[in-house]
Amino acid sequence: MTEPLWTPSPDRVESTSIDRFRRAVSSARGLDLPDTDALHAWSVANPGAFWSDVWDHAGVIGTKGDVAMQPGSAMADAVFFPDASLSVVENLLDGRGAADDSPAIEYRREDGLHRTISWAELRRESAAFGAALAATGVGAGDRVAAWMPHMPETVISMLGAASIGAVFTSTSADFGTAGVVDRFGQVEPAVLVAADGYLYDGGKFDRTEQLADILGRLPSVRATVVVPNLGDPDVSGVRGGVTWDGFVGPHRGAELSVERFGFDHPHYILYSSGTTGKPKCMVHKTGGVLLKHMQEQQHHLDVRPGDRLFYFTTCGWMMWNWLVSGLATGATIVLFDGSPFHPGPEALFDLIDDLDITLLGVSAKYIDAVLKSGTRPVDSHRLSALRTIASTGSPLSPEGFAFVYDGIKADVHLASISGGTDLCGCFVGGDPTKPVYPGEIQGKALGMAVEVFGDDGERLVEGQQGELVCTVPFPSMPITFWGESGDERYRSAYFDRFPDVWTHGDYAMWTDRGGMVILGRSDATLNAAGVRIGTAEIYRIVEQFPEVMEAVAVAQRQGSDTRIVLFVRMADGRELTPDLETEIRRRLRTEESPRHVPSVITTVDDIPRTRSGKISELAVTAVVNGDPVKNTEALANPEALDLYRDRAELTLG
């Protein structure tokens, strides 16, 4: 029997927002909901009533209306809060009782630059940016795009756009010209906000030359707001160019617009990774994103007014949008721009102590990298305010779970969460009232009717591997995909696999405790001797070896069959010796199965990743099978693919 790594005390359980919510729903509706499992069962059986109660308990500001959900003829046709009206800005800038001069944003850059933005200043700057947009002719429904580092001006740009009903979209400053144009070119922004450059791992990267290239391919842009991040940018040669102060300055002192829009008014456009073609442009709802994020943050991660909320992210990953929503609960959001390992692996833990951060959000790969670095923050840092660590981006291994409690902090809620850009939220995640077990996500997110389906659409039970699906509507389903045939492409992407059921594209399995293990992306699932294998099952074994930094496993066609090829990136100074290769094969065979043993194990110096840091198994699969990689601009390091070409031991058979 596996023992839990952490169990919350009864006092801690009673203090959590999710337990208070459970008690409130039970009392108000005359229900017997003894625990969060019962609360979840009620939430998916009664989605309208549930999301109505979330609106009230989370403290959404606006007019809710009398109808919480109108079912449609299909799952995608359901409409939430058809008579509601609300303002994102009114909710995010309310402060929830925070003093005007208290911090709304704490900003830190890897070189030590730091700024504190008070609630009052954030309101003033957002009002000025919104007024400047309006003066430029931008109105409700127009697009405002940001090609920006993770800095306060990006947040202010979004808030200013939302204040007048404009639609906001962003990518990170390290995207190349084609990657930016592939995204923004589809949605035709009226205004582009761009920094002159960014810092990373001790280096400075000027982006002014790329900005000129981008503008040459974005004819819709009529104003380009250049933000000084490296110095004092010269905007004289920039089409429609104006500095940040030149754009915002004349409108400082303007009143903040808090015009309320419908629940389904477009708020964000987010993008798929784009590794198999042009990125999909997902149009997200004003109310849907806000309500989903407030529910997740308050109930599943116990975020409270006055907390310090930090997620290591870029502006090209949905966790940026998620982080900014923390303002709606009255939390101070912490922005960090740069490398989390500069000048060393202790960088983020120094930040936690410096700012008394209560929630640390990182990728699973970050936790693995800290473990392999030998750093033990439990021995060197206070971390006294830290209550929650959230992990996402890829499955966190059982060893990663154990390291959090042994090497970081023993009394912390570790919430492994999983969802996607597609819903700008989570399907499964944390529960601060439950024990944490190694390698498991604790359970289903409230309101999310998550199941695991087999190939024929049958519901699978614990221990059986299949497709992660959702069978009941939820408010953060996208409105559509931007562009021609957007509705058709949206429905095809999620509802074709199983009729009227959202199929997410993750390969998953329930545990006997009601927890979930994500086994990898369905489209990257390996097939060995007719049996599907999730890549995460291989990685959790291989990456335990101290000699191995990380790995990528792919399927290579061999005539009418396929074989598994495993690439490993070795730690500095380490080699893939015959003995190590033998031990890797032995561990995979004994701890997983003979089908998990790769036909080929070989080394590689780098592994291609998407801009959000996820390993691109599809790109490597294409290369080793001699297929074209459709969109290398979606990769942060496309040059890594050259390492996989022309390998003698991988000659196509």
pLDDT at 646 over 70: no
Q: What is the DSSP letter of 547?
A: T
Q: Is the peptide bond before 343 cis (omega within 30 degrees of 0)?
A: yes
> Which are the contacts of 30, defined by CB distance < 8 A and separation ≥ 6?
none
- Check residue 637 and give its pLDDT: 87
pLDDT at 17 over 90: yes
The mean pLDDT of 181-185, rounded to a whole number, is 94
What is the length of the chain? Answer: 653
- Check residue 650 and give its pLDDT: 65
Tens of pLDDT, residues 305-329: 999 999 999 999 999 999 999 999 9
CB 400, CB 517: distance < 8 Å = no
Domains, the chain, in order of start with CATH, read 525-650 (3.30.300.30)
pLDDT at 221 over 60: yes
pLDDT at 559 over 90: no
- Check residue 530 and give its pLDDT: 61
pLDDT band at 334 (very low <50, low <70, confident <90, very high): very high
CA dist., res. 607 & res. 337, Å (int): 23
Beta strand pairing call for 266-271 and 281-285 = antiparallel
Specify the 3-state DSSP secondary structure of 67: coil
Measuring CA to CA, how many Å separate 119 from each of 236, 322, 396?
33, 19, 35
Report residue 217 as tokens. 């391919």
pLDDT band at 277 (very low <50, low <70, confident <90, very high): low
Percent of the chain past pLDDT 70, that is, above it, reads 97
Report residue 417 as tokens. 């969460």
pLDDT at 489 over 70: yes
- Check residue 232 and give its pLDDT: 93
- Check residue 273 and give its pLDDT: 75
Say what the alpha-carbon torsion angle 259, 265, 271, 276 is, to the nearest 10 degrees: -170
pTM: 0.89
Tens of pLDDT, residues 226-248: 999 999 999 999 999 999 999 99
> Which are the contacts of 579, defined by CB distance < 8 A and separation ≥ 6?
none
CA dist., res. 261 & res. 22, Å (int): 30
pLDDT band at 591 (very low <50, low <70, confident <90, very high): confident
CA dist., res. 419 & res. 643, Å (int): 31
Report CA Rg, the chain. 24
**Best CA proximity match to 199, nearest among 258, 120, 304, 113:** 113
Position of tokens 């890549």?
A: 535
Report residue 52 as tokens. 């109505």
The mean pLDDT of 201-206, rounded to a whole number, is 96
- Check residue 394 and give its pLDDT: 83
Measuring CA to CA, how many Å separate 300 from each of 79, 132, 207?
24, 38, 39
Written as one letter, the residue type at 171 is: T
- Check residue 653 and give its pLDDT: 43
**Mean pLDDT value across the chain:** 94
pLDDT at 648 over 60: no
- Check residue 649 and give its pLDDT: 62
- Check residue 43 and give its pLDDT: 98
Specify the 3-state DSSP secondary structure of 519: strand
Position of tokens 């939820």?
A: 474
Position of tokens 């992990």?
A: 391
pLDDT at 633 over 90: no
pLDDT at 55 over 90: yes
pLDDT at 652 over 60: no
Least confident of 180-184, 403-407, 433-437: 180-184
pLDDT at 423 over 50: yes
CA dist., res. 50 & res. 46, Å (int): 6
